[in-house]
Amino acid sequence: MKNTKELKLMANTIRQDIIRMLVEAKSGHPGGSLGMADIFTVLYFHVLRHDPKSPTWIDRDRFVLSNGHICPVLYATLANAGYFPKQELLSLRKLGSKLQGHPHKGTLPGVENSSGPLGQGISQAVGMAIVGKREKKSWRVYSVVGDGELDEGQTWEAIMLAAKYKLDNLITVVDRNNIQIDGTTDDVLPLEPLADKFRAFGWCVIEMAGNDVNSIIKAIGEAQTVSGQPIVLIARTMPGKGVSFMEGKFDWHGKAPNREQGELAIKELETERKLLEVG
């Protein structure tokens, strides 16, 4: 388990890996990937029960990524956790690569679900959590969904089902970055009052600053104490976090940086790293 400084440094490492992967691939999704680096770091290096040497360990916590287009952050996190060699990251989206443009279960160790069609991951997570409850397992299911996915009706069917079965072994993180491929979520299909909607559907709602390591740790710790309800963590994140020319801009939802832009992004992240290293 890493301390706060180590977690911040790991998130920085993961962001740099994301940039290098996308520059090499010449395609992919930087916005959400960079924005979720802190949450993935806390999950894999502070919270989840998992074993990179035994990816199918029966008592592991399950992690379900629904918005599979942000797989660069998942791949970079898994590689840094030791699931596969880091040099494989540069094979992202290449023909024959294990690192497909959306995660594929069975191809890469540590990937629990295939994802691509949006809106389905939360249903998969609910199914896993129901099994865990039925079989009286101690493991939890953690899932990540994009806020744009909540436009899909299937997500709300799953949300209702989770409340019916009181799935307190399910913790879902909503990446509330306010963007999707065609613009802001407010422009495409407004979601607010989002917290009230989840409460109305029978969920415990915890809001957190999704780019603040301490806020994430505190929120997940609180979520783990909840009984009798599924839990949603609404994470306010900055898309493109750490790269000034990407931050907050929906244009970078699914556009890879070119080599020059990548070098500029790495330079900014290296500057941030030096500040982190001196505290």
4-277 topology per CATH:
Rossmann fold (3.40.50)
Task: Report, as an integer, the average pLDDT of 65-74.
Answer: 96
Tens digit of pLDDT for each residue in 98-140? 999 999 999 999 999 999 888 899 999 999 999 999 999 999 9
pTM: 0.97
Tens digit of pLDDT for each residue in 234-247? 999 999 999 999 99
Alpha-carbon gap, residue 190 to 113, rounded angstroms? 28
Alpha-carbon gap, residue 196 to 236, rounded angstroms? 16
Buried b (16+ CB within 10 A) or exposed e, 86-118: eebbebbbeeebbbbbbbbeeebebbbbbbbeb
Q: What's the chain's average pLDDT?
A: 96
Alpha-carbon gap, residue 103 to 69, rounded angstroms? 8
Q: Residue 193: is the preceding peptide bond cis (ω within 30°)?
A: yes
Predicted local distance difference test score (pLDDT) of residue 152:
93
- 3 state SS of 126: helix
DSSP letter at 227? -
Find the helix packing angle between 259-277 and 4-25, rounded to 10°.
170
Predicted local distance difference test score (pLDDT) of residue 183:
86
> Is-contact 99 87, C-beta < 8 A?
no
Task: Report, as an integer, the average pLDDT of 142-159.
Answer: 96
Alpha-carbon gap, residue 230 to 158, rounded angstroms? 11
For residue 151, pLDDT over 80 is answered with yes
Tens digit of pLDDT for each residue in 194-209? 999 999 999 999 999 9
Q: In the chain, where are the structural domains located?
A: 4-277
Q: Quick one: pLDDT band at residue 180, thresholds 50, 70, 90? A: confident
